[in-house]
């Protein structure tokens, strides 16, 4: 007889696919198959990256992941010469004859984009609006002309043709978030942009209860509390990520999901306090945020 002593750990990275998520994934896959790049946009923590990775996996081709960054440049994307290799052959077989043959070649390393384009990988370009628009210009040639230009690389061929299996999935936060650049219309015009927003309380609760070992009713009490506080934020409010943190820490620390419990209230204040305070304009935003959290805890209902 097998005795199960340890709790089975739930897969914390798997995408929980309810019918709406499945539907979105299958539509997106269809668009990708037809040759159109997909662009998931929406607020932080709405699930864009998870969705992009799950979609990429569905194509059953190797997946290349690039993160947008203001320092990303063509050398990172196309590649660069990384140094020199020298080869020297000294032939002194006949003592009176000394022959030296020396050659020096530059060593080239393919960039991530070049590798993906050449081999037909699925490229996930996460948070692409964090890169400079001039860096992203290269995607115009890829998407429009089907070639990757090798300008500025000193390589002899002018471009590399895009492999027919190559596909790209972009993700971004909308323009009003800090640290992002405005995307050129010409690029946006070539993408199918799908808005990924926060899910309803019940859908979020299903995800939380499946990812963390917690009953759905308790998960719902947490996601409802977080969604309630999110309403007070115009942007960057607490997301599903915060609900997952509360659920995980409550489970692991044996803290009851109960709005009257002091440990639970402390946990909610730690996880939600700072983020919520950034949405408030008052003189003491953190204090105000903590009071809002305590009120939300008082109103919390767990229906068992
Ligand atoms: N359908 C889902 N199933 C399982 N987990 C999910 C799902 N949607 C979102 N998550 C979880 O929610 C959290 C946030 O998701 P993700 O990182 O994909 O969001 P994002 O929109 O890309 O956020 P950001 O813009 O901050 O990068 C992650 O922990 C992710 O695993």
Q: Report ipTM (2 d.p.).
A: 0.96
Neighbours of 269 (CB within 10 A): 18
Nearest to 299 by CA among 206, 231, 211, 249: 231
Confidence category of residue 1, pLDDT binned at 50, 70, 90: very low
Q: DSSP letter for 39, please.
A: E
CATH class of 19-77+111-195: alpha beta
Residue 12 buriedness (CB in 10 A; 0-12 / 13-18 / 19+): exposed
Q: What is the pLDDT of residue 4?
A: 44
Q: Is the pLDDT of residue 268 over 90?
A: yes
Share of the chain above pLDDT 70, in %: 92
Q: Using alpha carbons only, how large is the chain's radius of gyration in Å?
A: 26
Q: Is the pLDDT of residue 175 over 80?
A: no
Tokens 């990520």 belong to residue: 241
CA quadruple 140, 165, 27, 170: dihedral sign? negative
Confidence category of residue 300, pLDDT binned at 50, 70, 90: confident
| Residue whose CA is at the smallest distance from ligand 1 atom 26 | 44
Atom of ligand 1 nearest to the CA of 40: 21
Q: How far away, in angstroms, is 19 Cα from ligand 1 center?
A: 17
Neighbours of 88 (CB within 10 A): 9
Q: Is the pLDDT of residue 102 over 90?
A: no
Q: Is there a contact between 101 and 91 (Cβ–Cβ < 8 Å)?
A: yes
Could you tell which of 12, 22, 39, 49 is best to mutate to test the pocket of ligand 1, judged by most ligand atoms within 8 Å of the CB?
49
Q: What is the pLDDT of residues 104-128, one digit of tens each?
A: 877 878 899 999 999 999 999 999 9
pTM of the entire predicted model: 0.86
Confidence category of residue 13, pLDDT binned at 50, 70, 90: low
Could you tell which of 240, 247, 275 is best to mutate to test the pocket of ligand 1, judged by most ligand atoms within 8 Å of the CB?
240
Q: What is the pLDDT of residues 142-172, one digit of tens each?
A: 998 999 988 766 677 888 999 999 999 999 9
275 Cβ closer than 6 Å to some ligand 1 atom = no
Long-range CB contact pairs, 29-38, < 8 A, 24+: 29/55, 29/58, 29/59, 31/192, 32/59, 32/167, 32/169, 35/167, 36/191, 36/192, 37/143, 37/167, 37/168, 37/169, 37/170, 37/190, 37/191, 37/192, 38/168, 38/169, 38/170, 38/191, 38/192, 38/194
Residue 189 buriedness (CB in 10 A; 0-12 / 13-18 / 19+): exposed
290 against 150, higher pLDDT: 290
CA distance 162 to 116: 9
Confidence category of residue 6, pLDDT binned at 50, 70, 90: very low
């Amino acid at each position: 007889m097998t005795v199960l002593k340890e709790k089975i750990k739930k897969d914390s990275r798997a995408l929980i696919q309810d019918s709406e998520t499945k539907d979105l994934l299958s539509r997106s896959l269809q668009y990708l198959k037809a040759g159109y790049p997909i662009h998931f946009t929406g607020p932080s923590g709405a699930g864009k990256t998870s969705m992009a990775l799950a979609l990429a996996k569905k194509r059953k081709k190797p997946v290349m992941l690039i993160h947008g960054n203001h320092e990303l440049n063509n050398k990172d994307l196309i590649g660069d010469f990384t140094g020199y290799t020298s080869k020297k052959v000294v032939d002194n077989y006949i003592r009176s004859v000394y022959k030296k043959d020396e050659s020096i070649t530059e060593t080239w390393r393919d960039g991530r984009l070049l590798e993906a384009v050449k081999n037909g990988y699925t490229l996930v370009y996460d948070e692409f609006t964090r890169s400079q628009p001039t860096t992203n210009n290269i995607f115009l040639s890829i998407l429009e002309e089907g070639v990757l230009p090798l300008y500025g690389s000193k390589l002899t061929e002018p471009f590399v043709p895009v492999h027919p299996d190559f596909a790209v999935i972009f993700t971004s936060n909308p323009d009003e978030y800090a640290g992002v650049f405005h995307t050129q219309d010409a690029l946006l015009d070539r993408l199918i942009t799908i808005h990924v927003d926060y899910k309803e309380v019940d859908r979020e609760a299903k995800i939380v209860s499946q990812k963390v070992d917690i009953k759905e009713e308790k998960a719902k009490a947490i996601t409802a509390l977080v969604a309630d506080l999110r309403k007070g934020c115009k942007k960057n409010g607490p997301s599903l990520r915060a609900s997952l943190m509360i659920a995980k820490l409550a489970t692991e620390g044996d803290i009851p999901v109960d709005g009257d419990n002091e440990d639970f209230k402390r946990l909610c204040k730690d996880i939600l306090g700072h983020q919520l305070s950034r949405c408030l304009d008052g003189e003491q935003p953190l204090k105000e945020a903590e009071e809002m959290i305590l009120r939300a805890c008082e109103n919390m209902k767990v229906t068992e």
